[in-house]
Structure formats: structure tokens, C-alpha cells
Amino acid sequence: MNFSFYKTLLTVVSLSLSWMAQAQYKLSDDKATAATVKLYENLAKAQKKGYFIGHQDDLAYGVYWKYQEGRSDVKDIVKDYPAVYGWELGDLELGKPANLDGVPFDKMKQYIREGYERGGIITISWHANNPITGKNAWDASNTSIKNILPGGEHHSVFVGYLDKIAAFLSDLKGNNGEEIPVIWRPFHEHTGGWFWWGAKSASDEEYKELFRFSADYLRIQKGLHNLIMSYNTSTEFSTPEEFLARYPGDQYADMLSFDAYQRGNADQGEKFARQLDVLLTAMNKAADQHSKIPAIGEIGYNQIPDHRWFSHILLPILDKHTFSYVLFWRNAGFKPGNNEVEYYLPFKGHPSEKDFIKFYQNKKTLFEKEASKLKLYK
């Protein structure tokens, strides 16, 4: 018996299997920077360990504070930062110094660099103003996306918007001058009817064209190669086919995601959990079929009225599935404009504090300390 022959054969087989598992996840941009490629491969791998926890605007403000160096509502409770930092560019395209939620873009750049240098993951969304009416992202009236695509009357306005976005994204640099990789999540919740790029104003084909045109513009015309493209629906689907109805194609998407919020009373929790289960099952099938990485683009239950929500509603479903990350929406706090209070993660002293610590201690929830150990950019 020649054992060494079998040993060599076994090594060759297992090496090629692990190579195939990684090669399966290939970025849609074949000119992507080395760090972007690494991040994407490492995001795919890390799914075996668990899922990263993210928070929108985490470093900029919390429910009771604004712009305090090093502070985070998450860190106040669990002594660790989130692993994923969500940021938002809405109003940048108008040349304003701060975004639609008041976050100054120069500060945002600084926070992005900080999070990245600590080993965290950056994702950026864009509540783009309506280039046709000049009103905001929620103006879904009287819009035809054809007007902003090549040949359309408002095409140049839209291209002007993209120029501003490109300037920002290309100016995100790490300490060594390298471009910071970004999970770019534009034109999100497009299966819903509330945004001008949504299902009410744009046909499936028009949406695909919008997505492709803007991706090509950023990558080819603007030479940006630090983007991981995210295709992000709302909750209007229960099968992989429905989820993919507006999918721009494998050459344009790297991550698949959806946004889902629990609303109403705490007794709606089980119903939300069942819905989340259906959504994750359908999206993950689509992700498998296309060899893309799945994630939850946005989630939350405003003010968390159920003080066991994280451990009893969310965890059992999240733990059942394999996906890359989940991003909780922003801790805006009291909003003087409309007298609303908005936050999706607890702050120190909130009745859900203990429950969130349990969520933190769960093996599969990955925060920044674990992300940093994984060296996602190497």
C-alpha cells in the first residue's frame, strides 16, 4: 500500500476544494483593488463563523449625544464597536456640506477612516434627491426613470449627481493612502413604492438600467475600483425569483440584501420573525444560485418596545441562517422637525440594555473586536 500517494491525493483534493470555495466568490469588478478583493473573499469566509453586526451613523451621534470623539451607543453598552458602519450620502449630490440627517461630510470621511483603520467594514447608502423634480428621494410622483438615463432630458443632472458621489467615494483613503473598500448600496428598497427609483415609478427593466448605468459610470468613467455592489430590496418577495425581479445581473452585483423593520405592537414579534425567516430563505437561495454574498441591509424595531426583542425574536431566526451582516438603522433620538423619536439599538440605561448584552455574547454575532482579528483586508 502506498500511503503517501493517497496522502498527497487527499491534500490536492482538499486544497482544490478550498480554492473552489473561494474562487466561487468573485467580485463583479475585475479591476477591483487588492483590499476590496480581500474584503469580499473574507466576507464570504466569515459567514462560517457568524454574521457581523452593523449600525448606521454609529460614530456620529446617539440618542442623547452628538459628535463626541470615540463615542458610540453600542460601545457604551458592550464595550465594543459594531463591525459594520453604515453611512449615508443623501444631499451630497446637491453640493451641501452635510447629509439629509445633518452629518457633515468632512466628519463622515474621518469616521469612515477610523472604522476602517480599526478593522471594521464600511457600507454606504444614498437617498438621492429626485433629479427630475428636484424634490427629495421620497418624491415618487410624476417620475419616469427614462428621463435620467442616456438620451433623457434630465440625464446631465443625474450625471452631475454621480460626479459628486464619485468624488466622495474616491477620496476615502486609509492611513497608507489606499482606497477604502466600500459596500455601495444605492437605490435601495426598490421593490417598495416610496422612492423615485421604486416599483411605482420605475419598471423592472428601467431599474436594472439605472443600476447598470450608474455602476458603469462610477467604475469605468470615474475609475472607482473600491466598490462592492449591493442589490437591496425591501420586503415584497417570498421566493428567489421575486427577490431577483429587478436584479441587474451578475456583472453588477456582489452582495444581495433586503431591508426589514418590525412595526406596531410587541405582539407582532412572532409574525415579524416568521417573515424574516421567509425573506432570508428566499434571498439565500438566490445568493447560492448566483454565488453572491447575502446580508440584511437594514433592520430594526423603532424604540425597541419589546425588551426581549434581540434574544427572543431576532436571534433565533438570524442564527438559523448563513449570511454576512445585519445593519441596524440609526439612533437619531428626538427629531424636532416632526416630534418623532427614532432609534433601533439601545443606549445605556434603556430597558433593552441587558437583552442587547445577551445578543452581543451570542457566538455568532460578530462585533468589531472579532472583525479586527479576522484582518478582513489582508
Site of interaction with ligand BMA (CB under 6 A): 88, 100-101, 127, 329-330, 332, 342
Residue 162: closest CA among 126, 135, 194: 126
Least separation in angstroms between residue 88's CB and ligand BMA is: 5
Least separation in angstroms between residue 377's CB and ligand BMA is: 27
SS3 229: strand
Q: What is the DSSP string of 179-219?
A: BPPEEEEES-STTSSSSTTSTTTS-HHHHHHHHHHHHHIII
Least separation in angstroms between residue 127's CB and ligand BMA is: 5
Least separation in angstroms between residue 55's CB and ligand BMA is: 13
Q: What is the enclosing helix (H) or strand (E) of 66?
A: strand 65-66
**CA dist., res. 348 & res. 141, Å (int):** 41
Nearer to ligand BMA, 41 or 91 (CB): 91
Beta-bridge partners for 125: 88, 185
Would you say 308 and 337 are in contact if contact means Cβ atoms under 8 Å apart? no
Would you say 33 and 64 are in contact if contact means Cβ atoms under 8 Å apart? no
Nearer to ligand BMA, 241 or 340 (CB): 340
Least separation in angstroms between residue 101's CB and ligand BMA is: 5
SS3 373: helix
Alpha carbon of 276 to those of 25, 51, 287, 305: distances in Å? 25, 15, 16, 18
**CA dist., res. 197 & res. 201, Å (int):** 6
Least separation in angstroms between residue 102's CB and ligand BMA is: 9
Residue with cell 482538499: 14
CB burial readout 207-232, b (16+ within 10 A) else e: bbbbbebbbebbbeebebbbbbbbbb
Least separation in angstroms between residue 273's CB and ligand BMA is: 22
Instruction: State the CB neighbour count (10 A cutoff) for residue 348.
Output: 12
